[in-house]
Structures are given as C-alpha cells and as structure tokens.
Structure 1
C-alpha cells in the first residue's frame, strides 16, 4: 500500500468514526453552513429536513450537488475533520429510503407524531444521503467564525423598571 493510499484510508476511517460519534455536523451547500442532526448508516451521513417541524437544510443542498461537512469533536467541541460530500436525495419509499428512515426515526427526538413520522417525511420532507469524498487532512488556520443566521427568535427584553424594587422588598428579614 502506498503512502497516499494509506493516508486516504486513514482519512476515510477518521471521517466515519468522527461523524458516527458526533450528534451534529455542520453542512455547507452554496450559502452559510448549518448545524444538522444526522445518522451514519451504510457508509454515509443521512439527514431529514426541509419540512414542517424539521430542520431546514442550507441553500444549495440538492440532489447531485457537493457539500462541505465539518465534524466537531464530541468531547472538546472543536473542529475535528472537514470532508466533501456528494449529495443524493433518496426517493420516498425506495429501499435505501426505508433503511435510512428506519435509522433516522430512532434518533429523532421529541417528535409529536412518532408513529406516523415516516409517512409525514415521505409527503413533506427530504431525506438526503451525504457520501464522503475528499477528507481535508489540514484544517484551516482561521476560526471560520460567522455571524449568526437570521431567526425570528429574540433575546431577553430589558428588565422592567419596577422589578428591582419589588425584588428588594421581598428580601426583608
């Protein structure tokens, strides 16, 4: 085995092991990266989303496209490995789709309709398979920090003017 082949083999093993253990992966299509939950199944990361109540996929994550996947360390939370992925959208109720959904269903937390979830996913969502390609052995030197994505969520509002007096009055004794 040549040195390049050995390095590629180690890279694939690192991608698989790190992705299996990580609860989230950061996926970049054509726009900003998004943190997505996934399952590792049959040599690829599988995602479900883009439907009501499910995670939104980043722009450009379509069948036949290429995505960049960043995996963080489970114990330290830092970037561990970056790999490119060939994106394939699985056809609802195909053999691959059924196998992937079986794995995804077991990992989906807080589903309001756990029993009917696969049917809802078939109707309203997309199931993607991210097949590993090139693994970047050398990580970037910069932090790759980015501004948060727009969201309707808000932060806490200012404390009402009378609240400090009410709290102070309750501490007598």
Structure 2
C-alpha cells in the first residue's frame, strides 16, 4: 500500500463517518448501530447510561473496535476501519470538548439542561480513533439477527386499520 492509498483511506474514513448518521461498532460482542459525532479526527459516542444507547461489549480504554460506516444515500457498507478505543475521563478537557459536540447532536433528550451532568455521573463517553481502513466488498452477507432490546414492542394492528388503508386506495 502506497502513501497515497493511506491518505485516501483516511480521507474516505473521515468523510464517510462525518456524513453518516449511524456507524456500526463491534468490540468483543455483536456489532451495534450507534449515533456519533466526528470530533478532532475521531468518532465520539456516549452511552451505557439510563436513556442512552447501549454501547457494545468490549469497548474498554486501550482496546480496539471494528467500525463499519454505511453509505448515506444507499445505506450499504461503504468502509470499515479499526479503531483505537479511549474512554474519556469525565470533566477532563478532552471530555468537555467532546460532550459539547455530542450535546448539540443529541435529539429528544428528556433532560436537556442537566444532560451533561448526567453523562458525567452515569454514562461513558468513548473516542474511537481510526487506524487501518478497508473498502473491499465482503465475501458474503454480513446480515445478522437484531439484538434483543427493551425498546421494541409488538402490539396487534388495530382492527380498523385494514379498512382505513383500503378506503384511501379507493378514493385515489
């Protein structure tokens, strides 16, 4: 691999990760889709606290993670990269800068005023710094069964729903 290939790989990782709303992160367990922000040449995540996204197993300080970035327009796999994991210490200078970026992107926070204090007490802020990247197409499907979560509910469809849907079609 030439120096130009390395620079192009870094540029692709940065641009794709900046533009993607979700990245797939795998530590030692299954991969999870996570929202993030791109800050100072790394993806920054917040999670593992009440009301926040669950982070994958194995995201420990000094560890490694596999990050897969999807294409924003087609949704397919665009690039994968290996990340060095750093858990930021609450209220450190690096943590404050990362949290300022995360706070602006956090949607529907129930406690927007006290959110950063809650993150410092109950959550982890993780920085994923890119290492090697790969853009090759994988040899098979990377599809996996969805991870169990308490966020989904299954309720029967309302009895009137089929009539309502058919009624709309007839009018058009």
2:27 touches 2:56 (CA, 8 Å); kept in 1? yes
Looking at structure 1, the residues matched to 6 and 156 of structure 2 have their Cα atoms a distance apart, in angstroms, of 51
Secondary structure of the 1:88 match is strand
Alignment length, in residue pairs? 163
| TM-score after normalising by structure 2 | 0.89
How far, CA to CA, are the matches of 2:54 and 2:145 in structure 1? 18
Residue in 1 that maps onto 2:156: 157
Tell me, in whole angstroms, the C-alpha distance in 2 between the residues paired with 1:74 and 1:151: 25
2:26 pairs with 1:46 = no
Distance 2:102 2:140 in 1: 33
Task: Write the mapping of 1:1-173 to structure 2, written as runs, cut at 5 A.
Answer: 4-152=2-150, 153-157=152-156
Q: Offset of 1:143 from its aligned partner?
A: 1.8
For structure 1, the 5+ residue unaligned runs are none
- Determine the C-alpha separation between the residues in 2 that align with 1:61 and 1:84: 12
- Contact kept? 1:82, 1:139, Cα under 8 Å: no
* TM-score, scaled relative to structure 1: 0.88
User: Matches of 2:2 and 2:155 in 1, distance apart?
Assistant: 53
8 Å Cα contact 2:78/2:135 also seen in 1: no
4+ residue runs of structure 1 moved beyond 6 angstroms? none
Larger Rg: 1
**Within 1, Cα distance between the matches of 2:106 and 2:49?**
14
Shift of 1:158: 6.7
In the alignment, structure 2 segments of 5+ residues that lack a partner are 168-172
The 3-state SS of whatever aligns with 2:61 is: coil
